[in-house]
Amino acid sequence: VAVTKRCHSLPHLWHRSVAKCGWEPNMPMTFNTDIVASFMLQKTVSELNESIPKLEFDIYEEIGIPNSTVAVNFLQPSGASNWTNVIFSVVPYPKYSTMSSTWLSILRSHFMSLVVQQSTLQLTESLFGNSSFFEVLKFPGGITIIPPQAAFLVQKPYASFNFTLNFPIDKVQDKTNELKDQMRAGLLLDTNEVGASLWLSSI
C-alpha cells in the first residue's frame, strides 16, 4: 500500500489537531506525548487520510476524558492488503491543562479492557469499518494486566519477581499458561503456587 505524501489540514471545531501525515516505512516513530495507543483498520492510508478529523473525533467519543483531545500521529500501512495501523495519542487540551489522576485511571481501565477483551472502538462504520488489534504503546506509570487465573492465588505471595519480554502485551497474554508452566517447572512449585501479571512498562 503506497503512503500518501500529501498532508491535509485538519480543521476541528473542538480542538486543534497535532496529527502527522506522510509517514515512511523506514521512518522511526517517536512520541513526545505520554499516552499512545494503536489499532488496525481495514482501510488504505489514502482512504483514511481523507477522514482524519472524523477519525480523531470518533476515537475521542469512545475514550476521551476531560481536558484532553485525540490526535492521530501516524497511519502505518500493514503488510496485509488494505490494512492500516492507526497510531494515536491522547494529549492535554487546552495545551497547558492537566488531566486529573482520576480520569487517567479511568482511561487506563478502558485501555486494559480493550486489550484484554480485544473489543473494538465504535467508529463510524461507513467510513472506517471495525477496528481490531488494539494495543497500548505508552502510558504514564505503565499498565498492569492480570490474565485469567485457572487456580486460586494466595492473597500475599511469599516472593515476587519481574522480568522483561520484548513483545507487545497482546502477543504475550495468550501465552500466560505456558509461561506459568515454565516458571512452575523451573522453581519446583505446584500449579496453585504460581501467578502472573502482565505490565506494560512506560517508554
Tell me the average pLDDT across 30-46.
Answer: 88
> Which residue would you say has higher pLDDT here, 102 or 120?
102
Tell me how far apart the alpha carbons of residues 90 and 56 are, in angstroms, rounded to a whole number: 10
* 10-14, 56-60, 102-106, 193-197: which is most confident: 56-60
At 149 the pLDDT is: 55
Gyration radius of the chain over CA positions? 19
Per-domain boundaries in the chain: 35-140, 145-200
At 188 the pLDDT is: 58
pLDDT digits 0-9 by tens, 3-29? 333 333 333 333 334 344 444 444 445
Dihedral angle over CA of 124, 18, 89, 59, nearest 10 = -10
> Above pLDDT 70, what percent of the chain?
58
Q: Which of 36-45, 75-84, 185-194 has the lowest mean pLDDT?
A: 185-194
Residue type, 45: V
Average pLDDT of the residues of the chain: 75
Q: Are 73 and 36 in contact (CB under 8 A)?
A: yes
Give the three-class secondary structure for 69: strand
Tell me how far apart the alpha carbons of residues 72 and 59 are, in angstroms, rounded to a whole number: 9
Tell me how far apart the alpha carbons of residues 23 and 45 are, in angstroms, rounded to a whole number: 10
Residue 101 vs residues 98, 180, 185: alpha-carbon distances, Å: 9, 33, 40
pLDDT digits 0-9 by tens, 149-203? 555 554 555 566 666 776 666 677 667 777 767 766 666 566 666 666 666 665 4
Tell me how far apart the alpha carbons of residues 144 and 120 are, in angstroms, rounded to a whole number: 20
Class level of CATH domain 35-140: alpha beta
Q: Provide the 10 A C-beta neighbour count for residue 68.
A: 21
In the predicted model, is pLDDT for residue 42 greater than 70?
yes
> Which residue would you say has higher pLDDT here, 162 or 65?
65
